[in-house]
Each structure stands twice: as structure tokens, then as C-alpha cells.
Amino acid sequence: MVKEDFSRNGATARRRTKKSHPNVAPWRRGGRNFFFVTLLLLFCMAPSNGQRTKSQRFDPDGSFWVKGEPPNDFSDFSGINLNAKRSRQLSQPGLETNNGRRYRFKILNVKRERFTFTTETIAGISYSFSGRFLKGGVYASEILDDETPVLEGTLTKFRDGKQVAEAKLKFVYFGGT
């Protein structure tokens, strides 16, 4: 700390420096600045619970096809398409059949632990699904083969509001072209 003192006789300023005691802690010596800078650094470097790192991010956008042959009751079933970002590289969101008919989602809940949907009804037919994803991550940026299931659950088919078929299925991922 520098303190300037002027003599009464006028002309020269004398400087005196205040020496701190060597046994005083650094935050006392440097004043409050050291404490606040340290606190600020700790606050900035600590991740908050609301932040997710890239490895924790979950994004399953893409198509999901039945692993193996679908049961006879679902022989017209083609796949489930998720496309939250409306990417042109991916199919439109919904359930797709082999004849090209797309059943848009009426209700959709996409979380890693719980994936459910109900489709709109077309010509008296609708579908519902309840299942879970078997792995996390951003599917489009990972190398996923067409033999390893990434989704499992129960697909149910309705005709005129009545259940006509139900099957527990496993699905593989296809990220588009």
C-alpha cells in the first residue's frame, strides 16, 4: 500500500510503503481481490447440474427397423421414424408401412428410459408403442450396425379402436443416407 505524505513546508512528496507481515495469509495480504478472483474461477470451472456434456446428450433421430422378420400380424410394418429437427436426410416422423402409408404421431414422448407414441388413425388403423432405448448418445454421430438392437418395446395395432395385434420387438437403427 502506498501512502503519499506532503510536508508542510511544501515542495516534496514522501512515499511510505506499508509492509505486510510475512506470516499473513495471501488473501489478507492482497486484500479481497485474491479471494474474489479465486471464488470466480471456481464458480466458472465447476459444471452446473443443468448443463450436459456432449457425452451425456441424447438424440435418437433416425429410423428404427425391426430386427429380424416382423410377426405375421405386423407384416405390413416398415419402421418408426424420428426426425425432431426436420432434417431432409431423414424420413418424415411417424410410423411407416410397406405400402408407403405414413401414420403421423398423435402423441409422442421421447426419452432414453421411456419412448412412447400413439399414431393418428387412417382407414380405421392406428398403432401405439411403449418401450425404451437400450443406449444413450447421439445416434447419428455413432457407428451403429444393423445387427445390434438399440430400441425395444411393445408395438400394438388397433382396428376401429380395438386391439388386433401386439408384439414385443427389438429395433435396429438407420441414420439416413
pTM: predicted TM-score of the whole model, two decimal places: 0.65
Counted residue by residue, the chain has a size of 177
The residue that leads in pLDDT, 145 or 110, is: 110
Dist. CA 22–CA 132, nearest whole Å: 63
Residues 128-144: what's their mean pLDDT?
Answer: 89
Dist. CA 10–CA 34, nearest whole Å: 38
Residue 98 in this model has a pLDDT that exceeds 60: yes
Mean pLDDT of the residues in the chain: 79
Report the pLDDT value the prediction gives residue 49, as an integer from 0 to 100.
47
Report the pLDDT value the prediction gives residue 47, as an integer from 0 to 100.
53
Dist. CA 131–CA 152, nearest whole Å: 6
